[in-house]
Structure 1
Amino acid sequence: MRHRVGPRHARRPAPTLLRGIYLPRSMDAGAHAMTTFGIPLLVLATTNSAVLTGVAFALEWVPRLAAFALAGAMVDRYGASPVFRTASVLRALTVVAAALALPYSDGVGATVTVMLLAASTGVLSEFSYIAAETAGGAASRAAGSRAHRVQSVLLGIDQVGTLAGPALAGLLLERYGATGMLTVIAGFSLLAGLLAPRQRDGRAAGLPEPVMKGLRTGWSTMRSLPTLCWLVVGLTLSNLAVGLLQAAAPVIVIQHMGRSSADVGMIWSVAAVATLVAVALWRRAIDRYGLWPVGAVAAAIAATTCLAVTLTHTYTTYLVLIAVLMAAEGGMTVMLRTLRSHLIPASAFGSTLALSALILLAPFPVAGVLIAVTPPALLVHVMTGCAVLQAVGLAVTFARLRAAPGLRTALA
């Protein structure tokens, strides 16, 4: 006769990094990349308007920023897994609803549908992002001095999503229309929700922490970490230039260069390949030289390349320069994620992560607004100004971080 020695759930093995972190993160990265890069293409295909494309890019990001504080508080209260699973499933349902509605909409109805889709998927994507980053931060803390290696894998997963997502979104939109693209996004979202480990890893259930209290918690934690503050400031200025390039890409490539939506996706896919290779190299360099030297080199490459992008007029050169820029951004992102996992206390990780992400991503809706209000003849000048601001911001940031303790120490 077989006797149980404890509750059934007590005998269930803890999820491995592959099952509990990497697989659900992979599905979410695919859905996230397809929505981020595919929905502006869908708006341009639906409305044929550069202004509305910029507005849609802003609409994708403004609700995301508004959702960060609530997402951080919910993760701190309920845990990463339940929030991740709920957000992924809701995103799948939202995208399916849009896929069913668009074939029967035209004119104003279609425009309203794609704009609402941009806003709603933006909010849900940030809930899943905060939850996934919190789970990744916990895995990094458990890895100790090898935290940057866990973060390199997570960044590699994100880049694979960015590799496949834009190209797949552009190809599906071109060959199968909005329904084909949105169906695949829904599939990735649903798989992410199903693969999320079924565990409660948060605090005791109850009402979520008030949003403003979560913001205050995150702000007080960040203020106590000047190294993290300076890096966030520098990368925020860098993100304004990168966001402007992302928002302008459909207009520049399709309307100015006469290419297709698949060509827009190809740019970001090639950039993701370059970043994926570069992240492995950045990780080895951090092992040998430490965080600051590698971050400083990456910042110098990013600033120089971004200035060069504003001077190019051919598709091939534009593609190559964007790839180099995003590869350099990958080095700074590994540095940021490693510092976050080491410096932020576990008890306030969700709130502090949410606030730092809110600050870092604030330039993206600004970029969308700039594209919407800038006349085409002045777009290059705006891009050049943002590139100069990026270069100055990164130079000041890494000059201030030069003497920060621990950043020059090899992490092998």
Structure 2
Amino acid sequence: MIQTLPAVLPGALVDTHGIDLTPPSSQTSHSPRWRTSVDDVTVAPCGDVYTLTTALRNTWGVADDEPDPGVANFRYRIITRHSADGEVLASALCPSDDDGSASAVADGDDMTFCVLPDGTLSVNAHRDRTTLIAPDLSRVLATYASTEDRTAGNGFAGSISVTPSGRLLCTAAEYGVWGYGSRIANIVGLADGALTPDNRPLIEAISSLDPAPARHGDDDLTAQVRYQGSPVGREHRPRPALTELVAGADRLSGWHDSRLGRPVPLADDLFVVPVFAKIYRGGNLGQPFVFALVNDKGEMTGRLQGLDPRTESPFTGFCFTLAGDPYRGRAFHLNRYGMYAWDRSGALRARLDTAAKTFKPLTPFTLAGCAPDGDLLLFHRKQHLILRVPAPDDLADLPTVMEDALRTYAKQRTALKKAWAPVDWHWVHASVPVGRL
């Protein structure tokens, strides 16, 4: 069933902070600058849909200790839970204040989340910050967060994806990647034990990005991440690194300053690991990237084929997300040029060109991932709506399915506008239960 859901903004938050929902063009030059954006979408095996959004206000000249919430700057992560049929069940606010009222949810860059096999919600961010939250959003169960920039501390993973049997496909950071004096995502690994408030399973490293992070000492060994029985660090890591395996694809920079995307599973023992070359300020069209197929032994068995690095570049708009359907062995990608689908061999099976009138409405969408049943999860960056699309069994039927989904989205969006009366595409729910984590 094609489904359109709003990324909810709690009415209590709007009222407390006196948020002006009108478009920036209708505000004065002295109006507070505020925005909201969708970060990620995930679906639980029970069918509940969770959205992760950010809302922030940053007004020039307002002091950090401004006591009036109607004037003060703020930043929240908002987690909203919908039932399988679209009912808004609850929202949780995760403030990032520095005044002692900060959330127990560990904040960080590139925040994503997933639902663990036991139904627990895992919110993850770089650098290796993991927070476990009760499925009903009532409380934080555990927080695993590094406290220092150089050492791993009590962190767990920067991103997590779940395979059909419950294995956790993770990324982990290391100090000194490409010579930087901070911890950067560098390791892809698997955790086979349960992640609970009482247990952090060891992550077995299967692949790495930078083969030789700089200036490692004893404190830089990543105890939570193991390779062949010992903590990862110094020269002890999976080799050859991905950047060594694909070095011929970027002879100019040798993949220096490249970065890992979020890996996704195609099966219990096969994964897509995205690697993107260095990002420049002056333009990145044509920069190399690799969607590597890696098995659970760390072997690169191939890559997703068929994308032109210039005319279909994910660097345009920085569309770096892949979605994996591990139950049917498919991978999906959406960027400004089109939507693409591959089988587990890496063969491109479908291409939807956004230059065509039929699929041009896909351009403002971002692909978030796949639901456990294989449904595609997308969100509209401006209209703050979630689109759930049942992916066909035969990928050759994807163009027909997406054409129908986009028509249905337009109809469902119209119905939601009548029911919700959004202002500048902000979907305010006045009566949703709101907690604070």
- Which structure is higher in RCO with an 8 Å CA cutoff and minimum separation 6? 1
**What's the TM-score, normalizing by structure 2?**
0.25
**What's the TM-score, normalizing by structure 1?**
0.26
Q: Comparing both structures, which one devotes a greater share of its residues to helix? A: 1
Q: Comparing both structures, which one devotes a greater share of its residues to strand? A: 2
